[in-house]
């Protein structure tokens, strides 16, 4: 295995971790909406989910960039 293979697999793992975090965000928001919380409580819960959501999107983006870099430079 070359170093570029490691970059590709590391990027794929990071992307999968980001996608799993995005799924967690979707499930958490769906549960909060179904719980019938008032507006203030819902905003507090969404504030925490928003931070995880932004981190998950960033992790997925960086992971996909690593995969592309590994494929392009590994040729």
In tens, the pLDDT along 1-58 reads 899 999 999 999 999 999 999 999 999 999 988 988 888 888 988 998 999 999 999 9
* The predicted structure's pLDDT at residue 24: 97
* The predicted structure's pLDDT at residue 62: 97
* The predicted structure's pLDDT at residue 39: 87
For the chain, the domain total comes to: 1
Query: Which residue range is the domain that position 59 belongs to?
Result: 3-73
Look at residues 73, 44, 59, 75 and name the one whose alpha carbon lies nearest to residue 10. Answer: 59
Q: Give me 29's structure tokens.
A: 């928001």
């Amino acid at each position: 295995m070359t170093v570029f293979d490691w970059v590709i697999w590391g990027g794929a793992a990071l992307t999968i971790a980001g996608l799993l975090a995005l799924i967690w965000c979707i499930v958490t928001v769906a549960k909060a909406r179904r719980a019938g919380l008032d507006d203030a409580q819902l905003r507090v819960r969404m504030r925490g989910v928003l931070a995880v959501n932004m981190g998950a999107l960033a992790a997925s983006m960086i992971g996909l960039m690593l995969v592309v870099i590994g494929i392009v430079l590994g040729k």
